[in-house]
Copies of this chain bind each other. A is one copy, B any other.
């Protein structure tokens, strides 16, 4: 092939919910271009030297970066391909095409994330701040917009919100996760009704124990799986 080749990277929009607020993980760039600016974590897809050794899959690259940035094992993380961004000039150094991913980290695991990032400056940003006040490197603002569209569009008809609560959770906790994603309040009674339907459908089940807060203790549930049949 007598074509020039682009570099291919993966970029990760990693979300969690802390303090009833949707957060995204950003890292501060130590090198040019965009030195000092906040950016999405990411890295190059490793490509082998020959036809026989072709390197890692794009998905493996995303998981590898995700594990490196969060320090969390693969099976505790949710990862979904978002979109590929390939506008020329998006990286001023050279042609870079990036495959963007959405990842979700459970809030009980989120506090350990900071330690995992090899001394890089990494922080959970409220998505409000990340979008409004903070200029992001490259076209990462576009990626964040697309990622938010994706999770906001899916949260009410998929199982992704279970990736943003602890392994066992109350109805109010799940509702709070929905509200953090959508940035809007849900009617508690109506949310509970939908939730109870999930229970009769076998999507969720009662877990032992109760959650004790400042008021009446609530039943605890666990996610079973998206309707076996």
A side interface size, CB within 8 A: 34
A contacts with B: majority SS: loop
A 54-67 binary contact with B (CB < 8 Å = 1; else 0): 11111100000000
Closest beta carbon of chain B to A209's beta carbon, Å: 38
Nearest B-chain residue to A1, judged by Cβ? B7
Taking a contact as CB atoms closer than 8 A, the residue among B6, B7, B44, B89 that contacts A45 in the complex is B6
Give the docked Cα–Cα distance between A97 and B5 (Å).
11
Name the distance in Å between A194's Cβ and chain B's nearest Cβ.
19
- CA separation between A48 and B221, bound complex, in Å? 55
Residue among B4, B47, B48, B49 making CB contact with A47, cutoff 8 Å:
B4
Task: Offer 9 A-B interface pairs, CB within 8 angstroms, sorted by A.
Answer: A3-B7, A3-B47, A5-B7, A6-B45, A51-B94, A54-B95, A57-B87, A58-B85, A86-B99
Instruction: Write out the residue numbers on chain B whose beta carbons fall within 8 Å of the beta carbon of A167.
Output: none
Given A54-B88, A54-B89, CB of A48 within 8 Å of CB of B4: yes
* Residues 80-109 of A at the B interface (beta carbon under 8 Å): 81, 83-89, 92-95, 97, 99
Asked if residues A92 and B51 are in contact (CB atoms below 8 Å), the reply is yes
Q: Which positions in A face B, CB cutoff 8 Å?
A: 1, 3-8, 44-49, 51, 54-59, 81, 83-89, 92-95, 97, 99
Chain B nearest CB from A79 CB (Å) reads 14
List 11 extra interface pairs beyond A5-B5, A59-B86, CB under 8 A. A1-B7, A4-B47, A6-B8, A6-B45, A45-B97, A47-B95, A51-B92, A54-B94, A55-B95, A58-B97, A97-B99
Contacts of A48 in B (CB 8 A): 4, 88, 95
Within the assembled complex, what's the spacing in Å between the Cα atoms of A7 and B8?
A: 9
CA distance A84 to B101 in the complex (A): 11
A89 — which chain B residues lie within 8 A by C-beta?
Answer: 54
